[in-house]
Amino acid sequence: MNDVRGRRVVLTGGAGFLGSCVKRQLQALGPSTLQIPRSASYDLRDRREIDRLFSESRPQIVVHLAAVVGGIGANRENPGSYFYDNAMMGIELIEQSRQFGVEKVVVIGTICAYPKHARVPFSEDELWDGYPEETNAPYGLAKKMLLVQSQAYRQQYAMNIVYLLPVNLYGPADNFDPVSSHVIPALIRKVVEAQQQGRSEITVWGSGKASREFLFVRDAAEAIALATDRYNDGAPINIGSGREITVAGLVELICELADFHGTICWDASQPDGQPRRCLNTTRARDKFGFQASTSLRDGLRETIEWYRAHAAGRPSRAA
């Protein structure tokens, strides 16, 4: 089955870090049109703005990537706005898609929706077995409510809504802003700036004992495009690499690849976040043939090189 070819597609968040990669993947599938609504032109929290967007573009497929995101610090500082903005964008987009008769909606959730102490590797069938990690629970729950809405609308209105759960992403053109960035871009910036400034140590939040799984951004885009084109079931799908690394191991790897030989100081007064994160990715492989192809070492090397060439020494901004 090929759902994208010849269809009118709207891709929210298509100008961002992940979205720009998804845009290229979707274009290769041959849609008749692919529209990227920008936040300056359409406030996706407002149903009237979505109505205007859909009236202009008449989409047959909507892929919803747009989100307000950040690392642990940003989530702690903005729990209310992260909940409201992410919930309202998704809820209104899904409802307006129903009213406009959109054929298919692909919703991008988050690994932050999983319970804090979920069994590793995280299985989609255990998504409801506990409360999310507190530092990002408002964001995770806002996204999780879109799964509830998707399944309710599938049941009542027979809508074809697909829900994907990507793990932590990274790659070239990531957000390297120290206030709002996730762990990999934050660490790369710390290391490169320490080298530039001749400092012999860096400070890293937490104990280093927590583990994470990471997915290279182009692999994530491939998975989203494959699901948009081939997957039409209501069961949520994990999108990840299936490979886990401790934060301490990640820091050591980034230092090695960046050729930084200084001291790593751990600030244990800052939170680790969720103790472990690693996904069971067999459903994505079985349902639409996705397997991550970029190793963490190769992806980090490319990301470090990109940062040095494009962003090092300049103020960062969110993608």
Give catalytic residues, as residue numbers: 139
CA-wise closest residue to 232 among 178, 173, 159: 159
Q: Which two tokens stand for residue 55?
A: 């009236």
Q: Which two tokens stand for residue 79?
A: 């729990």
**Helices 79-100 and 47-57 meet at what angle, rounded to 10?**
40
CA-wise closest residue to 182 among 289, 48, 281, 277: 277
Cβ distance 7 to 60 under 8 Å?
A: yes
SS3 label, residue 174: coil
Sign of the dihedral through C-alpha 315, 316, 317, 319: positive
Q: Which helix (H) or strand (E) holds 140?
A: helix 137-157
Beta strands in 36-134 (DSSP E): 61-64, 104-108
The values of phi and psi at residue 10, to 5°, are -110, 130
